[in-house]
Structure 1
Amino acid sequence: MRRRFPKLFAALSSAFILSNLSVGTAHAIELVPTVEDAILHNPEFREQVKAHQGVQADLRGAEGGWLPKIDLGAGIGQEKITTKTADTDLTRKEAAVTVSQNLFEGFATQSEITRQQARLDSAGYSAQAKANEIALSMVEAYVNLLKEQELLRLAQQSHETHQRILDQIIQRNQAGVGNSVEVDQAKARLSLASSNLIAERNNYRDTLARFERVLGRMPDSDLVKPTFSYKFPEKLEDAVNTALIEHPAMRSANADIATVRYQYDVAESAFYPRVDVDVKQTWDENINGIEGKSENFQAMLRVSYNLFNGGKDDANLDKVAASVHQAAEVRNTTRRQIIENMHYAWNAEKYIRDQLEFMQKHKDLTLATLQGYRKQFSLGRRSLLDLLNTEDEYISAQRALVSSQHDHLIAEYRILNGMGLLLNALNIKVDYALAENDYKEE
């Protein structure tokens, strides 16, 4: 049956590929819910959220430095004491409760809390940066799938057009109007159109696989083409300035600098004295060979000050100082990357937009030429080669226009991502890893 109806099977195969997104639910898929779904279920983003939660625990631990420490101790055992005058062998029992409150340790507690807060903010900004990255990947996969659907439709249309032309040429040849060379020529173009259709099916499948990788599942319905209405700054410099302020990757780098600066303050605390209040109550029995119970209460203000630690504290301070400069260089690298990405996205959007006007004119004029050639060919005033070349040129013009339209849409979203505003523009809230402070002055 396949051999008897090759055209039917080819048409059914293409129809299945073009319509497989309609299988399942009757509801169309829109961009914003798809992007939000991709972010929430992406393992890389979830990893960033868990990292943020881990730093939250570190912050709670640092805040515990403000609170007193309570220790309970108890013991029982045999104590044997031998002296010149007597020997004792008693069961020793002891119990104690100690409450310690640090009053001063060189501002270490305050600095550590501030450091952990900066780490927490950095983790929050990193999660937001990852969310922006995933959002852009999903947007690209979504728009590219729309593009490949349209290109596949055009490839199928081209195949059908060349098949129709071949049928006409065969009929003309059988009627004694044409010749066998025209039949071979039409068959050759049909073979090329068939090859292009197969290649386009492969491109579509690859794009579908990319979509599945980003979203985590295949689309189960038709995709709705998004409309872009965000107004960009008038100048590239304004967009770059916005990116350097708003982009979460830049904010995370600034928070990292603040983190190591506060870590330097923590390291400096080793050069200060430590002041603690210790309150201790003991309940003992048979202690030091003295039979009987005894109780002891102490309330002590203790001061300790390390005078020499083998140079370890100085070395640690130098290490942290180097880390501050290292974090600053990482921030500088991030800054350059953000500027570079903004230039790429801005230039792509501008030049593709300029091209679209000419591509649309090329398509319209080619269509007008094609329509004229079709009439002239039916009257015998145009050769088959002229008609086939114009058909191919029109298909190429359509493909170029479709590709550029979708590439321009992606470039617009890339600008939003470059400025760090993609999630805001899509009205997607990532409230799982928030940052409290901005460290742009670091």
Structure 2
Amino acid sequence: MYWIKLSKIYFHGFVAAMGVIAVQGCVLSTDLPDYKATLPKMADSWSSQLEYEVERSSIVSVSQTWFTPDFHQRISGFIVEGIKNNPELKSARARLEQQIAQYEVSESAFFPKIDLSGDGSRTKSSSKGPDGERIKSYENSFKAEARISWEIDVWGRLESESQASYSSLLQRQRDVEFAQLSVATRIVLQWIELIALEKQLDIARQEKSNLTEIVERTQDRYQQGVGSILDLRLVETDLANADSTLTSKVNEHSQAVRKLELILGRYPSGKIQSAKEFPKIVTDFSAGIPSDLLVNRPDLLIAEQKVIAAHHNLNAAKANRLPRLSLTQSTSYQNRKLSDLFDPYSLVTSIAGNIIQPLYDGGQRRAVVAQNKAIEDETIAEYVNTALKAFDEVENYLGNEIHLKKQEEELSRAALMAEQGQNLSRQKYYSGLIPILDLLQAQQRFFVSKSRLINIQKQRLLSRVNLYLALGGHNTPLQKIMQTDPEFSEDNRNL
């Protein structure tokens, strides 16, 4: 009777304890924080694009055009090569493989752990016999045991840790996508830079050629007694400066070629031949709406997964304060003879349940929860900051589309007028109507105008490519090149 009452007391105590535990378990929240609600109110369209003064029929979507088709054909091979061979991208893929393995580690916690062990021993002992002699004896012992242990995920701690690991895996996948887009963008940007340097080289060569001709004419005039030694020295000085500029441009071009080869994963031998002309921007386009960035930009998707991972880590930290329930089952055979080890009469089986409730740890677990809550708040703030920077980038590059186009038109007119002025000044100088300084100033004005025009054309092209990157590369020519190439598509699927 006493044991029955005692059993009832233990049973009711166990039920009460489990009730308290269940109440504690209610503090875990499975709902993600509404991190997007912290974003400022987004406009229905990009403010910079509203300033476009083009007909509606001339605006196409971002995916329909980039530059001229011949440029796409030439650059696509470089993009595929770079994405396959770029060492930074290979590192990103390796980090993804590491995270895949880490996720598999976290998933293994849901399954029972099975261990097998074996043990054998031989004990020597001695005793004194009836006649006082020493008697030796030996005793053998053999044991084989199988142990199964399994933690029951009552409060979702293991599930939260697994979800956090999965979010980290998605971050790595987005890292690879962003690295691919970044490599492709860098290749295009560097190719445009090479074309600009090639055109600047042509200007430097033309300037040297013109000055060489002027030096010869000035020498003739000096020998004929028409010109002065001062005129000759002035033009010779400009020719020496032109030689120095040309040497500098050649070096810049070689360095730019090697930089492109490094992006492609090649040895920097400086053997790539660049194009001579810039690609043409075909038309204006629609960049979509600001909210599209939230699902298109890899860095925003990465920031989003960081928030999700932080939330699951917070839940795991909360669950770590609650009891852990585990089951253990052990089956063993033990016998003095190895041949009789697996005799059914040697079998020993046990099963046990284990529950551990943390009572006092000096506030360690509570501090870990507070730490993870602060990390969650930090990731939400970082998400908002990343989104604001993304909006700012797109607005700036869209603004560049307007202002750089206008600057290009203005500088084109300036370069045309400067060329006409230079030609007229040369004719008048050779006719003896103007001094040498007027000719040199006109020529310098012409080459400066041409150089500025090339720079603004380059900036406009670079801005267009950076705009595609700022938009996340989603459904853009960069992405189409990577998806349509059969070798790259196969390589990308293997990720």
What TM-score bracket applies, with the shorter chain setting the length? 0.7 to 0.9
Q: Supply the AA of the counterpart residue of 2:313.
A: Q
Contact kept in structure 1, 2:333 and 2:342, CA below 8 Å: no
Establish whether residue 295 from structure 1 lines up as the match of residue 315 from structure 2: no
Mapping of 1:7-86 within 5 angstroms? 30-78=74-122
Alignment correspondent of 1:306:
357
Return closer, same or farther for 1:309/1:47 CA change in 2, 3 Å cut-off.
farther
Match of 1:261 among 296, 302, 311: 311
Tell me the distance in 1 between the aligned counterparts of 2:364 and 2:222. Answer: 97
Task: State the Cα distance separating 1:321 from its structure 2 match.
Answer: 1.6
Contact kept in structure 2, 1:115 and 1:263, CA below 8 Å: yes
Return closer, same or farther for 1:137/1:183 CA change in 2, 3 Å cut-off.
same
Contact kept in structure 2, 1:106 and 1:271, CA below 8 Å: no
State which drifts further: 259-268 or 239-248: 239-248
- Which SS does the other structure have where 1:381 is aligned? coil
Mapping of 1:57-136 within 5 angstroms? 57-78=101-122, 90-136=139-185
- Which SS does the other structure have where 1:421 is aligned? coil
Establish whether residue 351 from structure 1 lines up as the match of residue 413 from structure 2: no
Task: State the Cα distance separating 1:55 from its structure 2 match.
Answer: 0.9
Q: Supply the AA of the counterpart residue of 1:400.
A: R
Q: Supply the AA of the counterpart residue of 1:428.
A: M
Contact kept in structure 2, 1:118 and 1:259, CA below 8 Å: yes
Alignment correspondent of 2:39:
none
Task: State the Cα distance separating 1:331 from its structure 2 match.
Answer: 2.4
Task: State the Cα distance separating 1:130 from its structure 2 match.
Answer: 2.8
Q: Supply the AA of the counterpart residue of 2:246.
A: L
Return closer, same or farther for 1:131/1:192 CA change in 2, 3 Å cut-off.
same
Task: State the Cα distance separating 1:240 from its structure 2 match.
Answer: 4.8
Measured against aligned partners, the alpha-carbon deviations of 1:328-365 in whole angstroms (never above 9, x if no partner) come to: 23323333433443344334443222100011111112
Q: Supply the AA of the counterpart residue of 2:77.
A: P
Alignment correspondent of 1:315:
367
Contact kept in structure 2, 1:49 and 1:433, CA below 8 Å: no
Measured against aligned partners, the alpha-carbon deviations of 1:258-308 in whole angstroms (never above 9, x if no partner) come to: 112111222233344444454432211159xxx996433547462514142
Task: State the Cα distance separating 1:324 from its structure 2 match.
Answer: 1.2
Q: Supply the AA of the counterpart residue of 2:200.
A: L
Establish whether residue 383 from structure 1 lines up as the match of residue 430 from structure 2: no
Task: State the Cα distance separating 1:118 from its structure 2 match.
Answer: 0.6
Alignment correspondent of 2:459:
407
Contact kept in structure 1, 2:255 and 2:270, CA below 8 Å: no
- Which SS does the other structure have where 2:139 is aligned? strand
Match of 2:247 among 165, 174, 198: 198
| TM-score normalized by the length of structure 2 | 0.71
Task: State the Cα distance separating 1:239 from its structure 2 match.
Answer: 6.1
Mapping of 1:356-367 within 5 angstroms? 356-367=408-419
Contact kept in structure 1, 2:168 and 2:305, CA below 8 Å: yes
Tell me the distance in 2 between the aligned counterparts of 1:66 and 1:357. Answer: 66
Return closer, same or farther for 1:404/1:433 CA change in 2, 3 Å cut-off.
same
State which drifts further: 423-432 or 206-215: 423-432
Measured against aligned partners, the alpha-carbon deviations of 1:18-46 in whole angstroms (never above 9, x if no partner) come to: xxxxxxxxxx9932322333333332222
Contact kept in structure 2, 1:93 and 1:285, CA below 8 Å: yes
Establish whether residue 334 from structure 1 lines up as the match of residue 378 from structure 2: no
Alignment correspondent of 2:482:
428
Task: State the Cα distance separating 1:125 from its structure 2 match.
Answer: 1.2
Q: Supply the AA of the counterpart residue of 1:325.
A: D
Establish whether residue 220 from structure 1 lines up as the match of residue 264 from structure 2: no
Q: RMSD between aligned alpha carbons? A: 3.4
Unaligned runs of 5+ in 2: 1-71, 126-136
Establish whether residue 248 from structure 1 lines up as the match of residue 248 from structure 2: no
State which drifts further: 258-267 or 126-135: 126-135
Identity %: 16
Measured against aligned partners, the alpha-carbon deviations of 1:27-69 in whole angstroms (never above 9, x if no partner) come to: x993232233333333222222111111101111222233332
Unaligned runs of 5+ in 1: 1-27, 82-87, 437-442
Measured against aligned partners, the alpha-carbon deviations of 1:78-127 in whole angstroms (never above 9, x if no partner) come to: 4699xxxxxx9732221122334444342233222222111100111122
Establish whether residue 171 from structure 1 lines up as the match of residue 223 from structure 2: no
Return closer, same or farther for 1:89/1:267 CA change in 2, 3 Å cut-off.
farther
Establish whether residue 285 from structure 1 lines up as the match of residue 335 from structure 2: yes
Task: State the Cα distance separating 1:72 from its structure 2 match.
Answer: 0.9
Alignment correspondent of 2:29:
none
Contact kept in structure 1, 2:197 and 2:253, CA below 8 Å: yes
Contact kept in structure 2, 1:118 and 1:255, CA below 8 Å: yes
Tell me the distance in 2 between the aligned counterparts of 1:44 and 1:309. Answer: 47
Contact kept in structure 2, 1:94 and 1:282, CA below 8 Å: yes
| TM-score normalized by the length of structure 1 | 0.79
- Which SS does the other structure have where 1:97 is aligned? strand
Match of 2:205 among 133, 139, 156: 156
State which drifts further: 120-129 or 62-71: 62-71
Contact kept in structure 2, 1:112 and 1:266, CA below 8 Å: yes
Tell me the distance in 1 between the aligned counterparts of 2:296 and 2:394. Answer: 13
Tell me the distance in 2 between the aligned counterparts of 1:104 and 1:422. Answer: 40
Contact kept in structure 1, 2:322 and 2:358, CA below 8 Å: no
- Which SS does the other structure have where 1:428 is aligned? helix
Measured against aligned partners, the alpha-carbon deviations of 1:378-431 in whole angstroms (never above 9, x if no partner) come to: 433333332222122111111111111111111111111112117942122577
State which drifts further: 119-128 or 39-48: 39-48
Q: Supply the AA of the counterpart residue of 1:372.
A: L
Return closer, same or farther for 1:334/1:362 CA change in 2, 3 Å cut-off.
same
Match of 2:236 among 170, 187, 212: 187
Return closer, same or farther for 1:160/1:96 CA change in 2, 3 Å cut-off.
same
Alignment correspondent of 2:47:
none
